[in-house]
Amino acid sequence: MAASATPHGALPVGSLVSCAYNAKVTHYKIKSAYGTSIFYGDIVKWADDNPNTTIAKDTGTTACTPIGIFLGCAYTDPTTSQFTPNQYFPASTAASDIVAYVASDPFVILQMQCDGAADQDDLGKNCALVQTAGSTAIGRSKNSVDISTVATTNTLPVKIIDFVDGPDSAVGDAYTDVLVVFNSQSAFGTGGHQLLQATGIG
């Protein structure tokens, strides 16, 4: 039972697309010396750093414009000059070859923990996110679903589509694990997954 808060960010577990989920990742660049740490399970977005489009952490809570979920990175370590895979991107790492591994499927299904109890009536509703600094010890995100914001509001960034029912979580637990998808706002001209938006980055 999820009786304690153990947020783990957003974990890709499937897709709404009717095919087998293969956990495909896309490689995107991170700007050298980018000043924000990005952890496994954090939401990321395309950002125009002028002149290039690179990956940045999406720190939104009540709204997001994601390109996907950060699943690690690799770069040439500026101290050791060695190729270094890493579960998280340490802020201000200076390297010209930083690549992020991103689950960029706009229909990806994500497992996340709520910061409180979710009940059956929350199914199909939208929520904001809780953004918390990740763990440098294990490289994992600590973001969670802000269940206190659950509502029909169409601008909230994630939609609850199911509950995780197992030995570690069940509906109504103190900290319920849920399955969510990005709540696309492209039809309204704002927010939502960047691959579903008509407006480009620039």
The answer to whether residues 46 and 118 belong to one domain is: no
pLDDT confidence of 5, banded at 50, 70, 90? Answer: confident
Q: Are 61 and 130 in contact (CB under 8 A)?
A: yes
1 pLDDT above the threshold of 70? no
How do residues 30-66 score in pLDDT, each as one tens digit? Answer: 999 999 999 999 999 999 877 789 999 999 999 999 9
The answer to whether residues 22 and 50 belong to one domain is: yes
Residue 194, SS3? helix
The answer to whether residues 24 and 99 belong to one domain is: yes
- Domain for residue 38, yes or no? yes
- Asked which of 103, 118, 138 is the last residue of a domain, the reply is 103
**Who contacts 107 (Cβ-Cβ below 8 Å, separation ≥6)?**
15, 16, 17, 181
- Domain for residue 61, yes or no? yes
How do residues 84-137 score in pLDDT, each as one tens digit? Answer: 999 999 999 999 999 999 999 999 999 999 999 999 999 999 999 999 999 999
Residue 61 CA, chain-centre distance (Å), reads 11
Q: How far apart are CA 114 and CA 143, in angstroms?
A: 9
- Domain for residue 32, yes or no? yes
Total structural domains within the chain = 2
- Which one-letter DSSP state was computed for residue 63? -
Q: Are 101 and 25 in contact (CB under 8 A)?
A: yes
Of 180, 192, 187, 188, residue with least CA distance to 41: 180
Of 178, 128, 129, 126, residue with least CA distance to 152: 126
The parent domain of residue 147 ranges over: 107-196
The answer to whether residues 95 and 136 belong to one domain is: no
- Domain for residue 12, yes or no? no
pLDDT computed for residue 187 by the predictor: 47
pLDDT confidence of 186, banded at 50, 70, 90? Answer: very low
- Domain for residue 186, yes or no? yes
- Domain for residue 36, yes or no? yes
The answer to whether residues 140 and 157 belong to one domain is: yes
- Asked which of 53, 83, 103 is the last residue of a domain, the reply is 103
